[in-house]
Amino acid sequence: MKARYFAWVRERIGLAEEDIAPPASVKTIADLIAWQQRRGENYAAAFANAGAIRAALDRQHVKAGAPIAAASEVAFFPPMTGG
């Protein structure tokens, strides 16, 4: 699936987007965050505080428990500050 990163999540990882292939055991957004934390120092820094991360699946907000199987695009970002 395609992963997209925004704001300080993007800056800490050093990538705006990439293709990811988590193992089958990664079923939810929470699992995916835990998996990302183990992908290296930059990912560990970006995902250190899971509570500060928001996620979207196919451009819709989702909670940490949302299953990721059916999605083609996942996005991670801080709480929104637009408007």
Partner 1 sequence: MRRVLRVQTKAFDASAEIAALGLGAETGALVTFTGLCRDDGGTLAALEIEGYPEMAEAEIGRVAAEAERRWPLDAILVIHRTGMIAAGEAIVLVATASAHRGEAFDAAEFLMDYLKTRAPFWKKAHRRDGSAGDWVAAKEDDEAAVARWVSSKPTAL
Residue with tokens 């930059």: 42
- Candidates 42, 44, 60, 67; binder of partner 1 (CB under 8 A) is 60
- Candidates 14, 40, 61, 65; binder of partner 1 (CB under 8 A) is 61
| CA atoms of 28 and 32, how far apart (whole Å) | 6
Q: Does 49 bind partner 1 (CB under 8 A)?
A: no
Q: Does 72 bind partner 1 (CB under 8 A)?
A: no
| CA atoms of 58 and 74, how far apart (whole Å) | 6
Query: Contact, 27 vs 57, CB < 8 A?
Result: no
- Candidates 56, 62, 66, 68; binder of partner 1 (CB under 8 A) is 56
| CA atoms of 6 and 81, how far apart (whole Å) | 12
Q: Binding residues for partner 1, per CB under 8 A?
A: 4, 6-8, 10, 56, 59-61, 75, 77-83
